[in-house]
Amino acid sequence: MKFRSDPSAIRGSIAPVVTPFTDEGAVDHDSLRNLIRFQLESGSHGISLGGSTGEPSAQTVAERIAAMRTAVEEIGDRVPFLPGTGSHKLNETLELTAAAQELGADAALVITPYYARPTQEALYEWYARVAREFPDLPIVAYNVPSRTAVDIAPETVKRLFTDFDNFVGVKETTKDFEHFSRVLHACGRSLLVWSGIELLCLPLLALGGAGFVSAVANLAPGAVARMYELWEAGDFDGARDLHYRLHPLVDLLFVETNPAPAKWVLAQQGRIASPHVRPPLITPTAPGLTRIRALLAEGGDLTQQLATQQNGADK
């Protein structure tokens, strides 16, 4: 809750951690705690849980709330906590957002309702309802048209940003980089915009973005955090170097459907107990694993805690 009163402080690399499961498919809270500790030790600037990488649509509302509770207990007020609280059902979205507020989340990340393909006016009404219901909680829209089949338009974001003081930003997970620019142009630089597309994280900073919610932070949290810090420090060549060095790990994430490849790597590293993903996802196939191993051999050096090491060297 420390950052709730000043959402502009929610910047940098906000790591969207996977939701670990046991081999039998139950939420593994011990592994979740371990992942969050890994993120904090590696220098991530914030934690998100329950976005696409967290398999929220395969969990019950009760499971998602319990996972948020575990995350809050582990994070405390050390970094901002930005849980995903959206669903394709309004009642579930309101229940999850209420739980996030009560547990002390710093903001709520609310995905556009998927499958139904609402109009822009319907999207406005959806987010307006959430914003009105929780006036003291910063609300961040999560735009991911590849998964939801709907794209929240810059003009709709502007309406929400103008009409509601607690509508503070948007996580843009679209490969249309022009869209990023149009959102910021429509709303102004005070709108907080994070990239959810790994290879657009660094370019967004040049437009005035607040940072990124990048799935590759599950594997290389230190490197992703350091990329932001180098950019902010004016070391653009250093930031670009990390951007390109992260390419193999970015490709690894999407060898098969995210988060299955990331979970397999994390299990191999002993950070989670099992690579289990819930249906309709499956663990990586044999051909997929061949490709994952090759990409890990190419970019695996960045899975070390780079930010911690370098920050220590800077002192």
Element of type H or E holding 137:
none
CA distance 165 to 209: 19
Q: Can 263 be counted among the known catalytic residues?
A: no
Closest residue by Cα to residue 217 from 77, 49, 33, 27: 49
Name the active-site residue from 124, 127, 142, 228: 142
Residue pointed to by tokens 């995350």: 71
Give the amino acid at 304. Answer: Q
Contact 270, 276 (CB under 8 A): no
Burial of 67 (0-12, 13-18, 19+ CB in 10 A): buried
Length of the chain: 315
Closest residue by Cα to residue 32 from 4, 78, 64: 64
Q: Can 142 be counted among the known catalytic residues?
A: yes
**For residues 240-279, b (16+ Cβ closer than 10 Å) or e, as one string?**
eebbebbebbbbbbebbebbbbbbbbbbeeebbbbbbbee
Element of type H or E holding 57:
none
Name the active-site residue from 171, 175, 244, 315: 171
Catalytically active residues are 142, 171
